[in-house]
Chain A
Amino acid sequence: GNSVTQMEGPVTLSEEAFLTINCTYTATGYPSLFWYVQYPGEGLQLLLKATKADDKGSNKGFEATYRKETTSFHLEKGSVQVSDSAVYFCALNPGGNTGNQFYFGTGTSLTVIP
């Protein structure tokens, strides 16, 4: 089946620290992988995506590389800011005739302190 597992939170970091949020997946076929961000009281916004193995998605200083051999899509940022405080969701779209359904991880809450 299809599923996403991401690291438990909450994560608390000091400003300018390095961030890694782990995400691994199980999927049939060749999924596309996504990271979404959710700020308090809001909907989800797409942060970055990768559609095939070895692709690197990047946006706003965040990066994630689609690793088929380890079935992983870890999110990284070299220097976090207070404004990065949010909940981060890893997701996959298995493709095929699935109605573009997504499978989401449980989310990882990040708090960045000055």
Chain B
Amino acid sequence: DGGITQSPKYLFRKEGQNVTLSCEQNLNHDAMYWYRQDPGQGLRLIYYSQIVNDFQKGDIAEGYSVSREKKESFPLTVTSAQKNPTAFYLCASSIELAGIGSSEQFFGPGTRLTVL
């Protein structure tokens, strides 16, 4: 079955530690995205990547870093510089259709990060 996997589902971190969230897709999608979701709020874009070895900052990139060494993988590192990292993190992917806005985004099941 094609889809997006995120691991782990729950993650606990001590203050001051970096932590990496995994996102893998086997949909052969070019574009991948990371969102943060806080209770009662919508999704906020952290980073996105349209192609391997290239990525752009979203609206709330400070305190986060990403890499895109393979098409199917887009890991997110939450660094100690992120002041309030406790949240639900969602990874998504889509076919990259430049100039065509009808492509949907497919989402993974999410990782809930809690800082202790």
Q: A41-B110, A43-B107 are in contact. Are A97 and B42 (CB under 8 A)?
A: no
Q: What residues of A have a CB within 8 angstroms of the CB of B43 in the complex?
A: 44, 89, 102, 104
Interface assignment of B100: CB less than 8 Å from any CB of chain A: yes
Q: Which of A51, A102, A106 contacts B105 (CB 8 A)?
A: A102
Interface assignment of A42: CB less than 8 Å from any CB of chain B: yes
CA A107 to CA B41, docked complex, whole Å: 7
CA A101 to CA B98, docked complex, whole Å: 11
Interface assignment of A71: CB less than 8 Å from any CB of chain B: no
A100 touches B103 (CB 8 A): yes
Q: Could you tell me how many residues of chain A have their Cβ less than 8 Å away from some Cβ of chain B?
A: 29
Contact with B along A81-114 (1 / 0, CB 8 A): 0000000010001111111111011110000000
Q: For chain A, what secondary structure do more than half of its interface residues adopt (helix, strand, loop), or is it mixed? A: loop
Interface assignment of B90: CB less than 8 Å from any CB of chain A: yes
Q: A43-B90, A45-B107, A104-B43 are in contact. Are A97 and B101 (CB under 8 A)?
A: no
Q: Which residues between 50 and 85 of chain A lie within 8 Å of chain B, taking CB atoms?
A: 51
Interface assignment of A34: CB less than 8 Å from any CB of chain B: yes
A99: nearest chain-B partner, CB-CB: B50
A51 touches B109 (CB 8 A): no
Interface assignment of B31: CB less than 8 Å from any CB of chain A: yes
B42 touches A104 (CB 8 A): yes
Name B's A-contacting residues (CB within 8 A). 4, 6, 31, 33, 40-43, 45, 48, 50, 56, 90, 92, 94-110, 112
Some 23 contacts from A to B, beta carbons below 8 A apart, are A31-B101, A34-B104, A36-B107, A42-B109, A43-B107, A43-B110, A44-B92, A44-B107, A49-B102, A93-B103, A95-B99, A95-B100, A96-B101, A97-B99, A99-B31, A99-B48, A99-B50, A100-B50, A100-B94, A100-B103, A101-B45, A106-B41, A107-B41
